[in-house]
Amino acid sequence: MTTLTPTTTTRTGGRPAAANGERGSLALLWHQIRFEQLSFWRNPQSMVFTFVLPIVIIGIFGAVFSGGEGETFFFGLSGMQYYTPAIAAVSVLGACYGQLAIVLAMRRQTGILKRLHATPLPAWVYFAGLLVHCVVVSVIDVALVIGIGSLYGVTLPTAWAVVAITLILGAASFCALGVGVASLIKNSEAAPAVVQFIQFPLVFISGSYFPIHSEVLNNIAGLLPVKPFNDAMLAPFTGDGSLHWKELAVLAAWGVIGALIAVRSFRWDPRPE
C-alpha cells in the first residue's frame, strides 16, 4: 500500500491535489452556509423573532420621539439618532449570541451535533458556515432597523466601511461568545434562561434601551462586550467616520475569550444528566 506524504504531488483530472482540496473545502463551506440559511428561512417563528422584534421596537421608539423634532435626547442627539444604532446593535447581539447559543444547545441535546461530528465534515467548516449565516442575518437585521430609522428622519451614516467593519467584528465576537456559552449549557431546556440571564443585564447596563449617566456603571460596561459595540455602531451616525479602535479591541478580546472557552469546553455529544 502506498502512503502519500504531504509533500507528494498528486493530480486528479489534471489539477493538483491541493487545489482540489481547496475547492472541496469551499464547496463544503458553501453547502453548509446554504443549509443554515435554508434551515433558518424555513422556520417562520425564528424569522419573526429575529426580524420583526427589532422592527417593532424601533417603530415604537419612532412613534415616541416623532413629535420631538429638534429636541436633543442624549449628548446632542435626537431620540431616533441614539436608538437606531442601539437597536441595530441589539439585533446583532440577539442573532449572533442568543440565537446561536440556543440552537447549538438544542442540536447537541437532540443528537444532531453528535451525528454531524461522525461525518467527514471538518469542524471549521461547520462553525465557519454558522458564522457566515449569522453575519448575513445580522446585515439584514441592521439594514431593516436603519431603514425604519431613516423613515423617522435619522441621517444615514456616510462611513459605511466603518459600519461594515464594526458589524462584522461584532458579529464574529458575539458568535464566539455564543459558542462559548453553548459549551457551558448542560441541556437545551436551560439554554434560553442561561442566554437571557447573561444578555439582559448586559443590554441594560450598556445603554441599549436608555442612556446610562452613571460614570462608574459606564466604566464597568465599557469593559464588557455590549457597550463597546454600541458605541462603535453609534459613532458613524454622529458624523464620526473613524474606527473606534479601543472599543473594537475590547470587542475582539471578548471574542477571543469566547473562542478559547469553546475550544476547551465544546462537546458534540449530549452532556450526561
- Residue 74: strand pairing partners: 77
Identify the segments of the chain with pLDDT beneath 50. 1-18
pLDDT for residue 272: 61
Residue 73 included in any domain:
no
Cβ density class 199-237: b for 16+ within 10 Å, e for less:
beebbebbbbeeebeeeeebeebeebbbbbbbbbbbbbb
130-161 pLDDT per residue, tens: 999 999 999 999 999 999 999 988 888 889 99
**Whole-structure pTM value:** 0.87
Residue 227 included in any domain:
yes
Residue 168 included in any domain:
yes
Residue 37 included in any domain:
yes
Classified as helix, coil or strand, 271 is: coil
Could you give the number of structural domains in the chain?
A: 1
Residue 23 included in any domain:
no
pLDDT for residue 67: 63
Residue 10 included in any domain:
no
pLDDT for residue 255: 96
Residue 15 included in any domain:
no
Q: Domain range holding 199? A: 28-67+84-265
pLDDT for residue 69: 61
Cβ density class 91-116: b for 16+ within 10 Å, e for less:
bbbbbbbbbbbbbbbbbbbeeebeee
pLDDT for residue 62: 86
